[in-house]
Amino acid sequence: MPRDFDQLDWNDDCRDACRKLVRLAIVEDLGREYDWTTLALVPASSGAANIVSRQSGIVAGLLCVQVVLEEYNADMQLECFIQDGDAVQPGSVVATVSGDSRHLLTSERVFLNMLCRLSGIASLVRKFVDAVAETSAKIYDTRKTTPGWRLLEKYAVRCGGGCNHRQSLADAILIKDNHLAIGHSLATHSTDDQSDKDTPAQAVRRAREFLANIDQPYRREPRRMIEVEVDSLEQLRQVLPESPDIVLLDNMTPESLQEAVSIRNELNATVELEASGGVSLETVAAIAATGVERISAGALTHQATWLDFGLDWKTRG
């Protein structure tokens, strides 16, 4: 069975990352003093409000709402009617928040910001996933995430039905063009043209030798995956005999991708192919139809727009 990167579910690391962001948001909103508007107009009392979707999409971030409430006031309660990953329509009540009215109003913007941002990512990812549903290709995210938000944004990708690429630089060896150019020039003290770069095949051999000889405390099991980027079919032919786990096909046309799949099937069918570059909702179906197993797209996180949610106060009686 092909190896894959670790896939992220909500865990303690996600919760800790969320808590750090919430504390920063509290400093932004309240670090200078108080919520004077709420103190002036809202008496100390208990109340409740519904979190309501204003658009159709996929929910992600309800678990973040709970963290926000805990950071503002431990006595506030969250009752969820759906789960992260569920679909909503305009007017869907996804949860009810109850407790101190002042704390609810003060925390409103923070938890809605997180819910809207993460649900926007999940909703966009679901569109990509649906576009390739008739193929065997899987949609993967990238490290093009908002600083500090990586775990939460990758969690949102999972809520949308996508897959996680590596979470950090430590999770795999991913050899790209600049590694070939810079690594060779520094090792040889050469500043000549690109003919002096290591080839992808040479780089895979060097990486595997490095992993085989690495000493404690750097060694970690299971063995790290090796992925290598190529930008031509000739490079693909050269690297396949080295059996990297994945070959990343950079900015290739659907025609070239289809030929790449044929070459892979002939030379080394155990290697998976990942298409990257130029991936959009308009192009992803044609890319998936070529037979590649993986499609990675930075757009999943850096091009997503927010899914709108609002807080509707519940009247008494």
Residues tagged active-site = 109, 144, 176, 229, 250
Nearest to residue 113, comparing CAs of 144, 67, 165?
67
Please answer whether residues 152 and 14 qualify as being in contact, where contact means their C-beta atoms are separated by less than 8 angstroms.
Answer: yes
For 254, list phi and psi in degrees, rounded to 5: -55, -35
The first and second tokens of residue 188, run together, are 């040889």
Residue listed under structure tokens 């963290």:
67
Three-state secondary structure call for residue 56: coil
Residues 6+ apart with CB under 8 A from 38: 102, 105, 106
Q: What angle do CA 124, 52, 72 make, to 5 degrees?
A: 100
Query: From the CB of residue 53, how many other CB atoms can be counted at a distance below 10 Å?
Result: 23
Please answer whether residues 73 and 26 qualify as being in contact, where contact means their C-beta atoms are separated by less than 8 angstroms.
Answer: no
84 to 10, 13, 155, 164, 300: CA distances (angstroms): 10, 17, 10, 17, 17
The torsion defined by the Cα of 226, 260, 302 and 200, in degrees rounded to 10, comes to 40
Q: How far apart are the C-alpha atoms of 207 and 299, rounded to whole Å?
A: 29
205 to 30, 172, 201, 241: CA distances (angstroms): 54, 15, 6, 10
β-pair type (172-175, 93-100): unpaired
Q: How far apart are the C-alpha atoms of 303 and 136, rounded to whole Å?
A: 24
